[in-house]
Structure 1
């Protein structure tokens, strides 16, 4: 039977009174140093998110259809269905900026239990300021390149494919959300258990999120180059050599991309990028024990010489997936800002 757990649960024999809720309360007090009243209030906040998650999980099929409808030709139907979902008046405008705005209202509502509102708000507020500070002609060239190559639209589409899949991981993500309260401490390395949902159905989700992050870093690098050197294709010299353009940057291995982000405007969360796990999943060098909920993976497996194994608990993996999804979601706000710039400024200038 699948465990439907909102908190990490200790393995071993049950002791009277030590329910998952009260054990979580103890973990919270120890990790944060707060008293019982404060810990209870924090758990109530956690419960608020879980209730919102319950509501959205029940509508996961409708959400998937609505996101798919955004890509269809019938934008009027999308506006109608989105308005009904949001319980708002129908937006009659079919201008791309208005259709996009409604899409991101849906995403904000649906995925709020998984995301950090302050992170999304910060990027949404800062991106227009950053774009205003750039050389406008060079920024327009950058947007035009992203548009003509379909890089931006395809990246947006792939991000949108990930969102509905997050509900496939909804049960084991619940205890990972609890670690927001404890500060992501050693609690995730203890003998805790989460939903017994099989790891094999979720490992590719992490790999796919990281692949998208690798492509999103191209946008981060382009903006960084515009801010520092007034040209999206101008990189800082490293070890006596310089990348000539973003195309070459995009072809770099993910592990190589970070060093080219000098004094970066975006604070990359390196906790989202477990490259050893990503590589092991990509090469099918991963084994999972459902009995003790431990993942064993071999980053350099597949060679004649056997590689060294590493281990990770299922709870640690779910926390990793959550952090990676949040990073992808934050950078999706960069995509959103680029589209607004394209629709409201770049396209209008080009039509004159």
Structure 2
């Protein structure tokens, strides 16, 4: 196990900001991750990162031990796929499609590691990761041992998992097993994706074509990111879609700028969040007066030109400047609309 001191975490996040890790180790598979965890005392503050595509790390850095896991094995056995926590999520999706397995194809090109995707319970176009998890191998910091959690041990909800609760806060994901299907499991009903399929003459009942549709839809929404790419410094959608009162739904969706009908928007709300009352956080921001391309922090932070939910770090940005923009958005939405926007991204370390 190679441990370094005072490592800049800005090199390990998609925002490209963040201070120093007091102690840092980069590991490449589940076995090395387990060994690194065994060497970390339970009393030591611990931070586990994947590709850093869904976190904002303080300019003051992180105390204790930071373990970054990137890489790992992916194996397919009949309809089961097992992947190390550090494997790139889209590599798992590609493996499933290559073996004719349905159940995660609509999450194509969601950026991040398998561990991070499981922690968040990623969801896209009507599919969520939690619904196909068979078991998860974890390191239990309290017991200092490896354990296996089965379906009955796990709980999932919109963009949330047991790992975000007090019960699971000391469980570190090592390996995840998914149970997929050799037959189609989910209808693709999201209108913007259907429009892409129609335009490109792609068959949504074909796994390979579905992947092409989703990737193109994500590309048009400005939602593609790769750790070695030249994309904007962002973590994707920063906020979760909130649930609002029945009376607020129509008022919020009236701010949609895409030209689709209110009925279609309600359907998309249902697909994305499981409820017509879970409205788009982007619509909430529009209703509160925010605009695409809006600038914050004297030109160091902006809202993406295509996707309002993407907060971009521009040259000279700091984590605190991004955090201040986040707080301004949250406070404005609450003051004007009474709606609290909760971060989907993880905010790590100390902020003012």
TM-score (norm 2): 0.27
Structure having the higher strand fraction is: 2
Structure having the higher helix fraction is: 1
Point out the structure with max Rg over C-alpha: 1
By relative contact order (CA 8 Å, sep 6+), the higher-ranking structure is 1
